[in-house]
């Protein structure tokens, strides 16, 4: 069962395994096809990004353009932008859930 998951930098993911299970984070870089580095700007800062197996991440249909642009311009992203991207996604998702999506 090798499902090829395409993840992109700036994409929001839900952590499925480990200490952060159930939480959302942003992909800040891809190591290779098996590992991604994630951060949420809060508990997991950009400078302390966590390396996660992509099979332990559930990609969400949301890519933060602010994060992508910042990483392309400077190779870094502020923790505030990461927090903003995650909180915006979570608030959008909860609105969609309330509508009975």
CA distance 1 to 94: 31
Spell out the domains of the chain, with CATH numbers in brackets.
1-68 (2.30.30.30)
Q: Are 8 and 16 in contact (CB under 8 A)?
A: no
The tokens for 43 are 């508990």
Q: Are 50 and 36 in contact (CB under 8 A)?
A: no
CA distance 68 to 35: 18
The predicted-structure confidence for 6-63, as pLDDT tens digits, reads as follows: 799 999 999 999 999 999 999 999 999 999 999 999 999 999 999 999 999 999 999 9
Q: What is the pLDDT of residue 3?
A: 52
Q: Give this prediction's pTM.
A: 0.90
**4: pLDDT strictly greater than 60:** no
In the three-class reduction of DSSP (H, G, I as helix; E, B as strand; rest coil), residue 21 is classed as coil
């Amino acid at each position: 069962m090798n499902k090829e998951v395409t993840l992109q930098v700036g994409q929001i993911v839900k952590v499925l395994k480990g200490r952060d299970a159930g939480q959302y984070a942003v992909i800040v870089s891809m190591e290779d096809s098996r590992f991604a580095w994630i951060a949420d700007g809060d508990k997991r800062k950009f400078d302390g990004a966590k390396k996660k197996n992509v099979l332990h991440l559930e990609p969400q249909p949301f890519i933060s353009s602010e994060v992508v642009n910042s990483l392309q311009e400077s190779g870094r992203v502020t923790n505030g932008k990461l927090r903003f991207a995650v909180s915006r996604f979570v608030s959008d998702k909860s609105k969609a859930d309330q509508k009975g999506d």
